[in-house]
Amino acid sequence: MRSSVKISATIVLGAVLANAAQSELWQAPANWHRLLKKDVPGSLTLDDAGVEFRSPKFNQRWTYVDIHSFDLSTRELTITSYENRPWHQPGEQRYQFTLGEPMPPEIAVQLTERVGKPVRNGIPLPSVAVLSKIPAHHRVWSGGSNGTLRLKDTGIDYVTENGRDSRTWRWADIQTIANPNPYELRVTGYRETAEFDLKQPLARVVFEQMWDRLYAADLDLSTGGGEEHR
């Protein structure tokens, strides 16, 4: 009898420790969007180990290592996993969610860091030390947006007043940067390319600082590589 009690206590303790190890970072109501099908309401949870969607009809969990990338705006999250799509369809499996409340910038940063791979994070942290701030126009085929570029030690932010079209890139998310003239900046990321018309000139010394932060760790500048820099 005592041995049975000990085993039960051990099982309970193990469950408690497992739950503690996966402490919850953030949770919000969410709708899972399905192509040509009705949305599925549920809740989305981020914890130390991964992301989970729970509903009466559908439960799915993704460890951070199993998430290939994600696209995030204030109330939209699309997770791209390494799963194959059904019925031999090309591409990777994507899960699109509308969030019932905005994801805080601090949580978006944690999600980005835990996934680790290049992502599209549209929720910059509002208070971060910057090297330079430049008013800019994001040029796209549909007209673009107006906002502010924030050049930081850790990467580049583009911030708009209403949050739409905002973006934050870590240096790990960026392949190249180009400054063909003082009034243009191009950011080529692993997930997207963004072209900006600058409303004030970008000082050369600031661009050199950005260049060093992006390339210096992995590139021997003495060999003269990188035509984007010239």
- Sequence-ordered list of residues with C-beta below 8 angstroms from that of 55, at least 6 positions apart, any chain: 32, 40, 41, 42, 43
pLDDT in tens, 19-54: 444 688 999 999 999 888 899 999 999 999 999 999
Domain topology for 23-121: PH-domain like (2.30.29)
pLDDT in tens, 99-138: 999 999 999 999 999 999 999 999 999 877 888 999 999 9
The residues of the chain that CATH labels 2.30.29.30 are: 23-121, 132-223
Q: How many Å apart are CA 158 and CA 166, to the nearest integer?
A: 5
> Is the CATH number of domain 132-223 3.20.80.10?
no
Are 21 and 13 in contact by the 8 Å Cβ rule? The answer is no
